[in-house]
Amino acid sequence: MAATTTLGFVLPTGLSRRRGGFRVSLIRCSASPLTNSTASGLVEKPWDSYNARLVLEDGSIWPAKSFGAPGTRVAELVFNTSLTGYQEILTDPSYAGQFVLMTNPQIGNTGVNLDDEESEQCFLAGLVIRSLSISTSNWRCTKTLADYLTERNLMGVYDLDTRAITRRLREEGSLNGVLSTEQTKTDEELLQMSRSWDIVGIDLISDVSCKSPYEWVDKTDPEWDFNSNSRDGETYRVIAYDFGIKHNILRRLSSYGCQITVVPSTFPASEALKMNPDGILFSNGPGDPSAVPYAVETVKELLGKAPVYGICMGHQLLGQALGGKTFKMKFGHHGGNHPVRNNRTGQVEISAQNHNYAVDPASLPGGVEVTHVNLNDGSCAGLSYPAMNVMSLQYHPEASPGPHDSDNAFKGFIELMKRSKQSS
């Protein structure tokens, strides 16, 4: 069944995916060791031993070294192609229910700091990397990545062949898996765990949303604000629905002159309207947009009552509220290097992305315009419905991490609110 490559990787052959199972038995895959201790006669230190496993639902087993919390977790594995910004990725609530594999081969070299948190907590299930930096060097650093993960009870593993795993995800599509440091659990048990779990159909936003409304006032630190021109000093009252909101969305809105009240995902539309908002934001968030019909209902109730702006999950909920459908992509978009074309201007932006679902443009009713297209695969990356003052983006204009090309979208929302105010 298995073939060995010239690099020494064991590749299973004859993989064939069926929904709900694979026709393969367990196959142990390994990266070539970073140091060849047996050949040199050196003995590995105890903390350098392969004390963890990643078992994927296709039957592959990836021995790994643990550098975070111990335990056993099941989740969907996705790969992220960002070169920098692992702390923002770790604190992006949209990764709840997922393991994030970084394709950048070395992670941890800048440690973590007090400024780069995108939420109060890490909601992802674990971090998978090739090599953990042996040193940490950055003027803002307050602790190492390993200490941070351990304190947050988050699993982290390294020394796996992340390139081979990424190729597998690209070919097979997203895979569920189990990370475990528990030696008492057999490979078969972990495989069963990975096969009996599914992220589709689960409401993950209610776990990550705030529990009660609060005011947000922080702006982007002026030293970091690269796009502070052309603001007119006007203020706009914005209600931000928190489906797992990233702080930088709030900082950018605040820097553009918004006074923001953040509300939980279950906040009634009628209460939001009583606050007389100039605009409503529907945030990013984890999981399957079809699993949260209550959120789609809230969006429907608010459509046409105030200008609305959807980001990522917010965009997908808007797509559904407008009558369209969402679907699960093969392996999604996760990274800071996605080219997007603005159909109105013809301009191309390099964008930060993190999503596994997308809106099917063919399912949208007339009058809804696809404003942005992902140039890697032609998928829908933005919508507008001018009749109801709706705009949305499938990707992340707030970056964090990633390029800032799309920041002007916040200005677009301000202009939408301004026009609506002037015409009322």
Ligand X SMILES: NC(=O)CC[C@H](N)C(=O)O
Residues designated as active site: 312, 396, 398
**Interface pattern 77-96 for ligand X (x via CB under 6 A):** -----------------x--
Report the site for ligand X in 93-132 (rule: CB under 6 A). 94
C-beta closer to ligand X: residue 277 or 285: 285
C-beta closer to ligand X: residue 96 or 146: 96
C-beta closer to ligand X: residue 158 or 241: 241
- Choosing from 31, 145, 157, 313, the residue that interacts with ligand X (CB under 6 A) is 313
C-beta closer to ligand X: residue 60 or 392: 392
> Measured from the CB of residue 176, what is the shortest distance to ligand X in angstroms?
14
Q: Is there binding between residue 287 and ligand X (CB under 6 A)? A: yes
Q: Is there binding between residue 357 and ligand X (CB under 6 A)? A: yes
Report the site for ligand X in 266-285 (rule: CB under 6 A). 284-285
C-beta closer to ligand X: residue 285 or 382: 285
Q: Is there binding between residue 312 and ligand X (CB under 6 A)? A: yes
Q: Is there binding between residue 382 and ligand X (CB under 6 A)? A: no
> Measured from the CB of residue 10, what is the shortest distance to ligand X in angstroms?
31
> Measured from the CB of residue 38, what is the shortest distance to ligand X in angstroms?
43
Contact between residue 165 and residue 63 where contact means Cβ atoms under 8 Å apart = no
C-beta closer to ligand X: residue 285 or 324: 285
> Measured from the CB of residue 354, what is the shortest distance to ligand X in angstroms?
4
- Choosing from 194, 248, 356, 384, the residue that interacts with ligand X (CB under 6 A) is 356
> Measured from the CB of residue 111, what is the shortest distance to ligand X in angstroms?
25
> Measured from the CB of residue 169, what is the shortest distance to ligand X in angstroms?
14
Q: Which stretch binds ligand X (CB under 6 A): 181-189, 341-349, 352-360, 369-377?
A: 352-360
Residue number with the shortest CB distance to ligand X? Answer: 312
Residues at the contact surface with ligand X, assessed by CB under 6 A: 94, 284-287, 312-313, 354-357
